[in-house]
Amino acid sequence: MGSWRWRLRLRWPPLRPDPRAMLGLGLCGLAWGVAIAPQRQPLEGSLRASALSFGLQPPEGGASRSPQGFLVVRRVRSLTIREAGQAGPLVVPFRGQRLSLAAGRALAFSASAAEPLELRIALPPGTRVQTLQPEGKDQLVLDLLPPAATMAEGGAAELTVIPPLGGTRPEASGPVGLQVVYQESGQPPRRLTAPEAQFMLPLAGGTRLRLQHSDPSTPLVFEPNLRVSELQFTSQRQSLFDQSPLTFSTLRSGLLHLGRMDPLSLRPDQFLQIDAPGITVLTSLRAEQGQLALEVVGETQRIRSGLSQMHPTTVLQGTLLSRYLSPAQISGFHGFLVGVISSLVLTLFKAD
State residue 173's pLDDT score. Answer: 47
Band of pLDDT at residue 17, cut at 50, 70 and 90 = low
* Sequence-separated (6 or more) residues with CB below 8 Å from residue 161: 79, 109, 117, 118, 119, 178, 195, 198, 199, 200, 201
Residue 79, pLDDT > 60, answer: yes
Residue 154, pLDDT > 50, answer: yes
- Give the integer Cα–Cα distance in Å for 256 and 262: 9
Going by C-alpha positions, the residue among 279, 139, 104 that lies closest to residue 216 is 139
Residue 151, pLDDT > 50, answer: no
How much is the average pLDDT of 101-126?
90
How much is the average pLDDT of 174-199?
84
How much is the average pLDDT of 51-66?
82
Q: Is the dihedral of CA 124, 125, 126, 128 positive or negative?
A: positive
One-letter amino acid for residue 241 of the chain = F
Q: By percentage, how much of the chain surpasses pLDDT 90? A: 46
Residue 181, pLDDT > 70, answer: yes
State residue 152's pLDDT score. Answer: 45
Band of pLDDT at residue 165, cut at 50, 70 and 90 = confident
State residue 170's pLDDT score. Answer: 43
State residue 21's pLDDT score. Answer: 65
- Give the integer Cα–Cα distance in Å for 45 and 257: 6
* Minimum mean pLDDT range among 54-63, 143-152, 261-270: 143-152
- Give the integer Cα–Cα distance in Å for 156 and 67: 8
Residue 159, pLDDT > 90, answer: yes
Stronger pLDDT, 29 or 271, i.e. the higher one: 271
Length of the chain: 352
- Give the integer Cα–Cα distance in Å for 195 and 95: 8
State residue 12's pLDDT score. Answer: 53
- Give the integer Cα–Cα distance in Å for 252 and 51: 10
* Minimum mean pLDDT range among 32-41, 148-157, 179-188, 251-260: 148-157
Per domain, the residue ranges of the chain are 17-37+321-351, 41-318
Q: Which residues are 317's β-sheet partners?
A: 302
State residue 2's pLDDT score. Answer: 54
Residue 143, pLDDT > 50, answer: yes
Full DSSP string of 247-296: EEE-EEEEEEEETTSPPEEE-TT-EEEE-TTEEEEEEEEEEETTEEEEEE
- Give the integer Cα–Cα distance in Å for 83 and 105: 8
